[in-house]
Structure 1
Amino acid sequence: MNLFAFTQQHPIVPFIRESDIPQRDACYLPFRKLLDYLLIYVHKGELTIVADEIEHRLVEDQFCLLQPGTVHNLHAAAYNETPFAHLDLFYQAHRDKSFPTKPGQIDLGDYGHLMQPRLNDFEGIHIPVVLKPRQPELYRRLMLRMIECWLTPDPLMKLAAQAAGTELVHEIIRDHTSESGLANRSPDTLDWIDSYMSYHLAEPLSIQDMSKRAHLSPSRFREVFRNRFGMPPHQYLVQLRLNHAKELLLSTSYTLAQIADFCGYSDVSHFSNAFKARIGCTPGAYRLQP
């Protein structure tokens, strides 16, 4: 499964469901299966986790990420502080219906529609249970900031918690994924083209700039573009410019010179020739039509 393609419909928008900084003596949480992600930081003490039948022993300043569908238990033999967060990573319209599963809850057949996708099911991503951060101090700071803000009953602090959570998720994915691997696996959808061209409608656009943005060579970009839109990039840009010109001619009192400028034409003559060639009449005649 390709992460880029998936996030076109299900963007990565971390949602913190439950979070806290428990301080406990010896504790044991029986086996359960997750619907969402569980991120744990061992701030003090030690924590043993059995995840999908594999035991992991965490010491101070280590992080673990348990992904959806993981069957696990937690055990600490002595005093520990283990800040944690249950969270969704991908947008889910029914996220308010999901929940942190309870001890002993293994059969989630009735809740399968609520289970988050696993990051490790995407190409080029492998995140171990025990994380390997490049900047452990950054993880620690973001994790504690996220939880502190989330526990504060203030809408702005909740927003700050989401911001810290988003940055932390970004760091986790980046640290455990090859950037070149992701770039090589990016889908050739070009879904951003319409908004990009529309935003730069009055400016010169180059194949080099657009192919670089798409992480493609210019020749590959031209090929992908034609397959996606049925015409070369220049013709598609002309189509967008003239469609915008038609809207302005019928809905505004701008002069032809102004419209030509708004639509990326150097002068009225160039604009009029392009308009007539594509639409079949001059801009002035189009404006006067009933």
Structure 2
Amino acid sequence: MPRSTKTPIELSEEIDQSDIGRSTSGARTEPHSIALEQVSGWHTGRYFNFDEKGKPFDETFPLVVRRELYRGFDENSYRHLNFWALYFVRRGNGTHVINDHAWSMARGNVYLLAPDSVHFYRGAADVVLDAIYFGETLFSLEEQQALSELSGATPLIASNAESENDEKANSAGLGHFLHLSPQRQIEVETIVSQIRGELARHERALHLSARSRLWCLIVQLALWRGENPTSTRGGESRELADVLHFCETHFSRPLTVEQLADITHFSRNHFTRLFTLEVGMAPATYLRHLRLQHAQKLLRETSHTAIDIARLCGFSNATAFSRAFQKSFDVSPLAYRKANKRTPKYRKKPQEG
């Protein structure tokens, strides 16, 4: 994760310093080996867990949470020596090459990277990751054994490309991650935020609470992965990642399921079945979720009218927007704005996105 100069990008997330992947096109190099104790110090010049004197608060507590941004090509490879990495893709798309196996990244993907794995990013389109790095000693051998007994635990590890059951995915050289539904994304983001907040405090009890939250989170992810053991084939996963990114960046347009299916070159029925299997909801439902999620943000942070918000979020008119909002959140847009209003970040007349 080399250093580079930050460039402007529309982001609501706060990115940790020196976390933008460098855009390169040079030749691959030998992997840079990284130990967990280097992670926070190497990237930001300090430890996440530190006392009032600036010294590590508890160097034996091997847990770090970061938010990272990658764009372009970063084919400098890295080897994680003594720690695991749990990644959540918050936005963007691209390819994460792990142990010479390519994995599609899209919003909602979650996966584990095992110790001693070699990885790099390729073609990252403004990928924002929540990364939880934790040492091999954070959990006891008994806990590790109990986790391994869950059917979804091993498939959650992206490093285990050879363990995938779908031979076609392996032959295609492209793997797939667990994909969270929008509701589960919100649940996971909340837990990660709680872990990050507890680690920022100087109290051992809160650090232990963060450890407990992480354990419960990994167990829950393994259970979710076990619910969908087959997922999609490798090539189909790449196509669906492209569709998810297209939805994320074009939801303000009047998109149809047929248009999304055309991106994948699948029939409408085949595309809808695969999308629903991977995402947990139909394409039209997912688009509506993205539109309403953006509408909530605009209601909180701007003074745009309902007509403007409806247009910016892809609804045909203000009435259709209000009905969809009321049905989904059991509150009108006006009532939501009154209860959640923040100081507007901008008051300029809205333009088409």
Same fold by TM-score, threshold 0.5 exceeded? Answer: no
- Taking structure 2 as the reference length, the TM-score comes to 0.33
| Higher Cα radius of gyration | 1
